[in-house]
Each structure stands twice: as structure tokens, then as C-alpha cells.
Chain A
Amino acid sequence: MRDVAVIGVGLTKFGERWNLGLKELMAEAGLAALEDASISSHDVEMLYGGTMASGRFIGQEHTAALMADQLGFGNIPAVRIENACASGGSALRQGYIAVASGIHDVVVVGGVEKMTDVTSGEASTALGGAGDQEWELFQGITFPGLYALMARRHMFEYGTTEEQMASVSVKNHENACRNEFAQFRKRVSIDDVMGSKMVSDPLKLLDCSPISDGAAAVVLAPLEKAKKYNDTPIKIVASAQASDTLRLADRESLTELKATKIAGQNAYRQAGVTADDIDVVEVHDCFTIAELLAMEDLGFYGKGKAGKAVQEGETALNGRISVNTSGGLKGCGHPVGATGVKQAAEIVWQLRGDAKDRQVNGAEIGMTHNVGGSGATAVVHIYKRAD
């Protein structure tokens, strides 16, 4: 196994990009990553592309070869990875494995989703496939519904409040204001969140992440060769992934995501660090309750303690631990296939010291956490500066 480094990252702005199609989004993010790594298309040996539901959204499958074609990668092998909302993080892990194994040197990992070309009903159907189609979807159980069931049980077992969940949304919007790539560069107050339309009790509109267009890309290389391309390569010191039941009712507990816990524990072991060592983390806040679950399941807080910590500002920018400096899924937007790759880009910027207005002071170790569906997939990576 070889050490693997990220030598380049690139993003498109997230949001409703009505003038850009899937190809243009891929090309914009991919080109930015190649430029960041100071390489050309001809240096790339393999591509992994994370896309969740392009077939349902725009009728286009086979997106990895398409991405390779659009970026001028020529005839290199390209593989699409679909793991619901964790497609991007899962693609990153495959890219990591390809470089670590010694099979390929320069690998590009892309993630893309074009979601706003269809009506909201069609988007719903496309994304519904992330859960158990036969038992959850069929009975009219929506995605906010599944996370609401987790939230309600968390409130029951630990006394978590709606205001505590709302404070996640407030924090992530605040961070998004400082991110030029974010969909919502607007502040919201606790009252705004609490007063927003009830979607599925206790989750309200502003507890939910949006529908978005966007793409992200990172370039990976063996650490020993990384300096050739980049002065501040960021080493991936852990890559872990776990699965769980697709159906929520099949799980023993509704107040934790077991896949997150297992992936997190494996990642800490690989990196030889603990939660206390992490300076900055991007977690999968598809709903506000999901960020609280992640903070607990990744070991940053004891069970039932995350709500109060967020409310008291411990996870704000340059707080005890900076969480979702990009704005998270809530503030930055959530083009599902791109999200896991975007998280990696944000952590790379943070560790290089390139995160501008949202820079975490002295950030040395970072983490990303990407979830598919209601928790049937979780992917965790840990990163360190390597210069």
C-alpha cells in the first residue's frame, strides 16, 4: 500500500445552474481541479465518477466515460460509482484504493448531479430509490419522514430540542455566507427556522438541505510523487466505509447511524488519531438532526450531547471543533453525486490554509463524512498536511 495525497481540487458553484448541463458542470469542476494540480488531461490515468440518479434526472447514464470524454482524458478507464447521496465519497474511496494499490498514479475523482431540470415530483421519485422502495416509499414515507422518525426518537431518548436542531441550520447558513461556491449565502435566525413550514414533524423546511446542481473533482497521486505537482499536498490518512440496512425499521437503534460509527472507528484506527485530534470536519447534514447524529456517532460528543454543544456555538467556525465550514449540505447545497467530493475539496482548502474568510486557524487534521440514504452507506476520510 502506498500513501495517497490530494494534489488538486475544483468545484462549480452549487445551486440552480440553469445555463449549465451535466457535461458543462463536470468540465468546469474537472478543469479547475486539473489546473489546481498543475497537470493536463493527458496525465490522468483513471477516473472514478460519483453520480446518483442522472438516468432519472436527465436520462443520461454512463456518466464516468462521459466525464472522461468531456475533460479530454482520452481512452483511460472510467468507472461510475452510485451509492445514493454517498456516491461522491464512495468514488473518492475507490480512487484512493486505485492509487494506494499501485495500479494507477494520477487518478481523478469526480462527482456531479444535475437535479433542477425536472419537476420536484420527478426529483422526488429519482431520489426515493435511496431507501427501501418496497416498504418505505410504497407507504408514502418521505425522506424527511425517515429523518423525522430518527429526530423524534432522539428527542424522546435524550431531550434534544427543535431549537437545538434549528441551531445547526443557523450555523451552516452563517458558514455558507463565507463560501463563494455556496447555494445559500443568506443568514437565517432560530426564529426563521422554527417558523418555516412544517415538512414532517419535527422537521421544518429550514431543517432540510436543498435540491441543487453542481460538480466537484479532486486529483489523487501517490504521496511520493505529489510534491512534483503541488507544494502542499494533503495526505489521505484514512479511508473507511460501512453499510447498514436500507430500511430504517430494520435497525436496532434509530438514534445512531451504525454505518457512521463503524466507518468512523475504522478511520480513527487507520489514521492513529482520535476525535479530539480533528480540527475541521465536513459532516453529512442532509437534515439538521443528521448533523447531530454525525457529531455523536463520530465520537465528537457523547450520545445526546451534540444538540446543546451546537446551540452553545462549540461547532461554529473556530469553535471547539469547526463543523461544516463550507456551509454543509444545508447551506452550500446538495447535488447528491457531488457532495462527497465537495467535502474533500473543502477540507483540502482548510488544511492548505486557502479557505479565505472561513479559514479554521491552524487546521492540521480534517475529516469528511458522507452518508447515503437514511444511513445505509457511510464513508469517512481523514486528511493531514503532508509538506
Chain B
Amino acid sequence: MWVEAEPPQWSIYTRGQTDMERSSSSLWRKIRSRYNLVGNACENCNTPYFPQRIVCRKCGRKSRMVEKIYSGNGEVYSITKIRTPPDTFRDEAPYYIGIVKLDDGPKVEGHIIENGTEPKIGTRVRIRFRRMYVDGDEGLIYYHYKFEPV
């Protein structure tokens, strides 16, 4: 009975990213952060941020923001397995996405690598540098930080 309704039911919420130019400029602009978890912190109130911010949310005025590289060690705060991916991740699905609370920083979203242990809330993770996806048209390989259960 759900046949007619099925495709549209979920499709609108699958975020696709088909505009390759836009996605690659976004990659290169933030490449250090995407590869090495480089964030920043407000020198005035010490609040750590990832990704980097220009305005400290706490101070709400101009303050000195200093670069901060996080260790990448942390704990899974929430997790899901994406089974209906955007077009760009068609070949990667299903994949785990988690929000990780960093030991020395804020919460960060990212892929959780499957390595035999089923990741769940509370699982300890460390950062890894991995292939994220291959762009079908140009064969461009996109790399990104990911988290791996330890």
C-alpha cells in the first residue's frame, strides 16, 4: 500500500551535493581543518571552537581568536547509520555518522569508521585521515578526517 508514497517519503531529506565546483572550493578553503581538526579558541574566555569562528559566541565582540589543533581523541556522543545517502556518497553507503565529544575540544560531526567493533554512544574514538568519496565525473578523490573506534 505504500508503493506510491515510498520514493518521495524520504527523498527530500537526503542532502545531495551535485554541484562539484561548489563542493571542491569548500574543501580547499577549509583543507587544514578538514585534514587535521584545526579549530580555534577565544583568547579572552578560552572557549574552544571547531570549525574556526571569527566571532566568539560567548564574548559577542571582537576578541583575539587563536588557532588550536585538537588531538582527535574523544567519545561518541550520538550516532546513526545513513542508508539513503546523497548522490555523492552513493558508493559509500551505508555509513556511520557520529557526533564526537572531543577530550580537548567541542563536539564535532564526522564519519565513524567500521573496524569490527559496532560504534555506539560512549565508544572511544581517535582521528584518522581517510578517503571520504570519489567524485564520479572527474574521479577526484576527497579526503577528510574520520573517527575510528579504539
Contacts and interface: CB of A to CB of B under 8 A. Distances in A.
**Do A and B form a real pair?**
yes
Contacts of A116: 8
22 contacts: A121-B16, A124-B16, A125-B17, A133-B26, A134-B26, A139-B97, A139-B111, A140-B82, A140-B85, A142-B13, A142-B14, A142-B82, A148-B80, A149-B97, A152-B121, A184-B5, A196-B2, A198-B81, A200-B82, A200-B84, A205-B9, A208-B13
B16 A122 contact: yes
Contacts of B6: 197, 205
Interface string A225-249: 0000000000000000000000111
Main secondary structure of the interface of B (DSSP, over half): mixed
Given A149-B78, A156-B78, A143 B14 contact: yes
Given A156-B78, A205-B10, A121 B18 contact: yes
Contacts, number: 169
Contacts of B121: 152-153, 156
A141 B16 contact: no
Contact of B79 (A152, A199, A205): A152
Contact of B107 (A133, A150, A249): A249
Contacts of B2: 192, 196, 205-206
Contacts of A120: 7-8, 11-12, 14
Nearest to B79: A152
B51 A134 contact: yes
Contact of B15 (A141, A212, A247): A141
A211 B5 CA distance: 9
Contacts of A203: 80
B69 interface: no
B27 A138 contact: yes
Interface in A246-265: 247-250, 254
Given A139-B97, A198-B83, 10 more contacts: A121-B11, A139-B109, A142-B82, A143-B12, A149-B98, A205-B6, A205-B9, A208-B9, A210-B8, A249-B108
B1 interface: yes
B101 to A, nearest CB: 9
A115 B11 CA distance: 11
B11 A124 contact: yes
Interface in B64-99: 77-89, 92, 95, 97-99
A104 B106 CA distance: 47
Contacts of B7: 120
A208 B10 contact: yes
Contacts of B132: 139-140
Interface in B11-54: 11-19, 23, 26-27, 30, 51
Interface string B129-146: 000110000000000100
Contacts of B99: 149, 248-249, 254
Contacts of A184: 5
Contact of B18 (A125, A145, A212): A125
Given A128-B17, A210-B5, A137 B11 contact: no
Given A123-B11, A210-B9, A248-B99, A128 B16 contact: yes
B48 to A, nearest CB: 12
